[in-house]
Amino acid sequence: MRDNDIKGKKFRRYRRHRPQHHIADNSTNLLRKREPVTSTNQVWVGDITFIRVGDEWNYLSVIMDLYSRKIIGWSFAKNRSAKLVSKTVLKAVNNNACTRETICHTDQGCEYTSHLYQNTLKDHGLQMSMSRKGHCWDNANMESFFHSLKTEMIYFNKFQTLEEAKSYIINYMHFYNNERIHSGINYLTPVLCEKQAA
């Protein structure tokens, strides 16, 4: 190559980026040392799961009230993004009486470390809490909800359109909140548990 004045094409040097990881690194799991919840709107938990629609994955973002197990906000879209999870927070805020003490707990996914999501929490006075890295059981209630959703509804259906999937999700959310009893809340439905706490 030298004899013929040929130079190899170089890839640019790899540079490690940490655009949002500092947020996760400095986050705290506020649930670890906290007393168990005693009423609604003390702790909200959130997460994202994927649902196949046609040949593509679509994404469901959910927020649950940890005390009543009620789904208080959800959004479904083709793209997994900070906008999706922020929209879910706004739905939860608009439908519930959160306070400056309300904790919103999630994992360390990139959507939750985004500036948009962080600012949405700050704008509404919500406290940020995140699971420890690699500890899925820190958000066990959301994992349990997604397991129920998939085994009771998703795995029995093949969705062809976003609208069809949304229709099924709407029906399941109504069933989950109003009809499905939970051993963790004394075999009440989430809505009934919420009413008793009021």
Residue 92: enclosing H or E segment and its boundaries?
helix 82-95
The whole-angstrom distance between residue 160's C-alpha and the CA centroid of its chain comes to 24
Whether 184 maps to a domain, the answer reads yes
Residue 151 sits at φ, ψ, to 5 deg, of -80, -25
Tokens of 12: 């640019």
Whether 9 maps to a domain, the answer reads no
pLDDT of residue 14: 45
pLDDT of residue 5: 82
Whether 7 maps to a domain, the answer reads no
pLDDT (tens place) for every residue of the chain, 198 residues total: 788 887 765 544 545 445 455 554 556 899 987 889 999 999 999 999 999 999 999 999 999 999 999 999 999 999 999 999 999 999 999 999 999 999 999 999 999 999 999 999 999 999 999 988 766 677 899 999 999 999 999 999 999 999 999 999 999 999 999 999 999 999 999 999 999 987
Whether 39 maps to a domain, the answer reads yes
Q: Tokens 């890295």 appear where?
A: 133
pLDDT of residue 26: 53
Give the separation between CA 139 and CA 198, rounded to whole angstroms. Answer: 25
pLDDT of residue 9: 56
CATH code of 32's domain: 3.30.420.10
Number of structural domains the chain divides into: 1
Whether 124 maps to a domain, the answer reads yes
CB 111 within 8 A of CB 143: no
Whether 60 maps to a domain, the answer reads yes
Report the chain's mean pLDDT, rounded to a whole number.
89
pLDDT of residue 187: 96
Structural domain that includes position 41: 21-197
What does the pLDDT look like over 118-145, one tens digit per residue? 999 999 999 999 988 766 677 899 999 9
Give the separation between CA 125 and CA 86, rounded to whole angstroms. Answer: 14
Pairing outcome for strands 56-65 and 71-77: antiparallel
